[in-house]
Structure 1
Amino acid sequence: MGEDGAVTSAPQRPEGPFPMPRLIATDLDGTLLRDDQSVSPRTVAALAAAEEAGIEVFFVTGRPARWMGVVSDHVHGHGLAICANGAAVVDLHGEPEFVRVRPLERTVAISVVEALRAAVPGITFAVELTTGITYEPDYPPFFQDPGAHVATAEKLLYEDAEGSAEPVLKLLAHHAELAPDEFLTLARSAAGDYASITRSSPTALLEISGPGVSKASTLALCCAERGISPAEVVAFGDMPNDVEMLGWAGTSYAMGNAHPDVIAAASGRTTANNEDGVAVVIERILAERAAAQPRTPL
């Protein structure tokens, strides 16, 4: 049974046979990963089986490239991941290497900061660069980045704003008191014309990317380069930053622990992340594919 009381012992999906996908796109936190940040043996086996069957697997996450060690041992075939909510495509073979960057221009980022400071008193920011992160003194510290630089967002963004500095992948905005969805609504109202604003945290933490940059739009670019149509993609997610991707993919699954907006956007539902919901669906896809294969006469 899922956290909201819904029975999720088996995937719920659209009527008809499973599509024969060419690509599986899966979020990480709250989706592929268990709550302890591990990838279960069952999920490891399912990912390997999908790749062996010729189905590409893309990790599509809000995480920065430097936090991808949680899946580095499970990279097969292509080894690409979409990070920072679509702002970067990263090759995970060896040390993470940026293949594509879709930056948030500094002048746009400054406009977003100014608009949100005026609209939402008490807001604090962090700035995610291709080289690491910096955050403001009152922003919750990043324990995974103990050497992060502390400064105001304006100070960092105005430095080399003409383009000579490292690309900005996204802004992070935090509020200590607002409810997460209320914060998201306020921010989109104040600055949604400047940038893409979403969230993936259970706290009031927003993620702000360049206009039109999302998991969905970058995944669409990667698929177009491979001649893969949306109908040939199966996607998984659990939080609002997955909504566009789940709506774009031909077949999509909200996890049993998913946000209500994600459940509404997906075409099906699977079990929770701690119950290996991604693996459950992959196993069924592969079983149906095997059953559809013509049998060789003995």
Structure 2
Amino acid sequence: MRENGPVTSATRQPETPASPQLSTSPEPGGSPGVPPRLIATDLDGTLLRDDKSVSPRTVAALAAAEEAGIEVFFVTGRPARWMDVVSDHVHGHGLAICGNGAAVVDLHGGPGAHRFVKVRELARPNALDAVRLLRDAAPGTVYAIEQTYGFHQEPDYPKLHMEIPDDLAPAEDLLAPDGAAPDEPVLKILAYHPTLNPDAFLTLARLAIGDRATVTRSSPSALLELSGPGVSKASTLALCCAERGIAHEEVVAFGDMPNDVEMLTWAGQSYAMGNAHPAAVAAASGKTTANNEDGVAVVIERLLAERR
């Protein structure tokens, strides 16, 4: 999840196609001979430009993919309430995997009317253990808590997101059995450290928390995202594909950050953006142009041209 909230779509002109030094064909180990049935794309830093707009070229490419019978899934660290930025571009399919796999959301209802189709929560005992273990391992860590409809944070958690929290209290109080919205599932914990290197913080947190939660990151700052054990973009995408009879070889995935690594590894074809973190580049079978250069559209256009 990026640190800034959604902005409405702008109307930029399309950029030029892929730069020659980037490979929009999969490397060995991909599945270029298998016709794709589903496109799974991250949003921030991938499908969206840095100003959070969806370019006209990308909108056209998504529509063309769906007209060709290829389903499109948005797979993001964003909570459901931040999905309005793409709600106008779903072209009828209207499903998104949010919170790094913690929820599958139906966007058909439009802004403010999202329906949760699947929820993979972080159990409160696990959440409390993770908070305490990471607080011990990295003193100075502060927390925010994402629920299906609520957002709560500690008083010292910085203003990283464009919203006002529902509650301000220590994470241990928020996660207690009688804490914030106790009947509402916890989807994700955000853990921020003001001084640690982001990748070093991620490594430290994974070692400290172990199997009590899945730990990843998608922000350029030292902001980590904690989900339920085994919950990731890839594992929830795999569940959704199994329900549709779609094999991983029939999936094309796009991403740019460590929270995309499992999905990029799992998909038959996968592409890291030109602006991607080294971990995403290493996990993907191919590479495309940067998000500001419509890298997702570049690949979709090529895939559709190959089908003709």
Asked whether the two chains share a fold, i.e. TM above 0.5, the reply is: yes
The alignment's TM-score, normalised by the length of structure 2, stands at 0.89
Distance 1:81 1:147 in 2: 24
Distance 1:179 1:11 in 2: 31
Cα RMSD of the aligned pairs, angstroms, is: 1.6
Q: CA deviation at 1:76?
A: 2.0
Residue of structure 2 in register with 1:98 after alignment: 116
Q: CA deviation at 1:14?
A: 2.7
Alignment partner of 1:125: what SS?
strand
Residue of structure 1 in register with 2:37 after alignment: 22
5+ residue gaps in structure 2? 1-18
Distance 2:303 2:25 in 1: 13
Q: 1:167-206 alignment to 2 at 5 Å? A: 167-206=185-224
2:54 to 39, 50, 67: 39
Q: CA deviation at 1:78?
A: 2.2
Moved over 3 A (4+): 6-10, 15-19
Q: 1:120-269 alignment to 2 at 5 Å? A: 120-160=138-178, 164-269=182-287
| Corresponding residue pairs, total | 284
CA deviations on 1:111-138 (whole Å, 9 max, x unpaired) are 0011011110110000101112101111
Determine if contact 1:51/1:77 at 8 Å carries over to the other structure: no
5+ residue gaps in structure 1? 1-5, 291-298
Q: CA deviation at 1:10?
A: 5.4
1:57 to 72, 78, 86: 72
Larger radius of gyration: 1
Distance 2:245 2:37 in 1: 10
Q: Judge which range, 202-211 or 69-78, deviates more.
A: 69-78
1:85 to 100, 105, 127: 100
The amino acid that maps onto 2:297 is A
Alignment partner of 1:78: what SS?
coil
Determine if contact 1:105/1:210 at 8 Å carries over to the other structure: yes
Q: Judge which range, 139-148 or 198-207, deviates more.
A: 139-148
Determine if contact 2:151/2:165 at 8 Å carries over to the other structure: no
CA deviations on 1:189-237 (whole Å, 9 max, x unpaired) are 1002211000000000000000000000000000000000000000000
The alpha-carbon distance between structure 1 residues 183 and 147, as it changes in their structure 2 partners (threshold 3 A), is closer
Q: Judge which range, 113-122 or 148-157, deviates more.
A: 148-157
Alignment partner of 1:100: what SS?
strand
Distance 1:256 1:62 in 2: 20
% identical equivalent positions: 71
2:86 maps to 1:68:
no
CA deviations on 1:241-266 (whole Å, 9 max, x unpaired) are 00000000000000000000111100
Q: CA deviation at 1:188?
A: 0.4
Determine if contact 1:112/1:191 at 8 Å carries over to the other structure: yes
The amino acid that maps onto 2:84 is G
Residue of structure 1 in register with 2:26 after alignment: 13
CA deviations on 1:54-97 (whole Å, 9 max, x unpaired) are 00000000000000011010012321000000000000012211
Q: CA deviation at 1:160?
A: 3.1
Distance 2:20 2:272 in 1: 13
Alignment partner of 1:192: what SS?
helix
